[in-house]
Amino acid sequence: MSNSQDPVAPDEILPDAAGSLFRRTPLGAAPAPAKQARPRVRGQRVDDVPAFLIHSYPYRETSLILDVFTRSHGRLALVAKGAKRPHSALRPVLIAFQRLSLSWSGAGEIKTLVRAEWFGAPQRLQGAAAMSGWYLNELLLRLLGRDDPHESLYDAYVEALSRLAAHPRLSGALRAFEWRLLCEIGYGFDPAATGADEPVRAGARYRVPLEAGPEQEEPEAPQSGTPITGESLLALAEGRFDDVAAEPELRRLLRERLDYHMNGRPMSTRQVLHDLRSFPPLRADARPPGGDAGGPAEPDPPHPGKIADR
């Protein structure tokens, strides 16, 4: 069984520069003595930034290191002091897929979380939608650098979570986010034109190399790249990610491109999904441990140690 399939809902059919200041010295004046190094300045506090928790792992006895995705500052690492204590006010707030408003301070690579609040209505993903959400989070961890804002990618993440929460069909939301991520980090291409600047035709067949755009397929000439029809390329160009006919080819195209830029390292969420599918189906009268009768308990997120940072 392939490990690259999406989570399936029960009723789903798969198809700046900083300026410089110069001080003028009057002619004939002696040069000013060299200034001593100024003391280190403490980091500026940042308040009320929209964000999502992408990942967390224990730090010392009572704290957590958070990997968060913010709209205005990109990915950040924050230490949440005391968040593991039983009565910490942060424990019920710091959950995945929930919009947050975060405040922090500090100048180092890891800032200190000062305040965290929910931003907007509660949002919860369950079952296959939750596994899809963890997949999106792992993509961000693997491919997005820290301290690099991507506001349109943040907005695409918000939209993807909303679609996962509202619709039983998951594949369209995943394909849309995968494509936006590739474009944001510089690995996209023009799906409506070939490298020779010829428009893609619906009835033709193409190949898309991993580091280039579409090339028309030549039957007698050896070519590398992902095979794909013109119809599917035009669906990608027009944002028709729910196109059932195009979805299988778009999935293969985007997954191969993502895997290439992750240096072929397997994704933990895909492996978890594969492991879950290896279990035999439950009988209707079976009661799984930790879950209600009639279905398995919601899967836990992948273990923190299994999701590697970039």
151 domain residue, yes or no:
yes
Question: Which domain range does residue 101 map to?
Answer: 46-118
Within a domain: residue 7? no
Token match 């679609």: residue?
A: 163
Count of Cβ atoms closer than 10 Å to residue 198 Cβ:
12
Compute the average pLDDT of residues 63-68: 97
Comparison of pLDDT for 44 and 113, the residue scoring more: 113
What type of residue sits at position 203?
G
**Residue 41 resides in a domain:** no
Segments of 132-237 assigned E as strands: 205-208, 215-216, 226-229
Q: What is the pLDDT of residues 189-248, one digit of tens each?
A: 999 999 889 999 999 999 999 999 999 998 777 778 999 999 999 999 999 999 999 999
Distance CA 69, CA 100 (A): 10
Three-state secondary structure string covering 104-138? EECCCCEEEEEEEEECCCCCCCCHHHHHHHHHHHH
Predicted local confidence at residue 218, as pLDDT: 84
Same domain, 53 and 112: yes
| Residue position matching structure tokens 């474009």 | 183
User: How high is the pLDDT of residue 123?
Assistant: 85
Q: CA 223, CA 16: separation in Å to the nearest integer?
A: 42
Give the pLDDT score at 215: 94
Asked if residue 301 is part of any domain, the answer here is yes
174 plus 275 within the same structural domain: yes
pLDDT at 68: 98
At 28, the amino acid letter reads: G
- 55 in a domain, yes or no? yes
Residues 150 and 78 in one domain: no
Q: Write down the mean pLDDT value for the chain.
A: 80
Residue 240 is predicted with a pLDDT of: 96
Q: According to the model, what pLDDT value does residue 241 have?
A: 96
238 within a domain of the structure (yes/no) = yes
Q: How many domains does the chain have?
A: 2
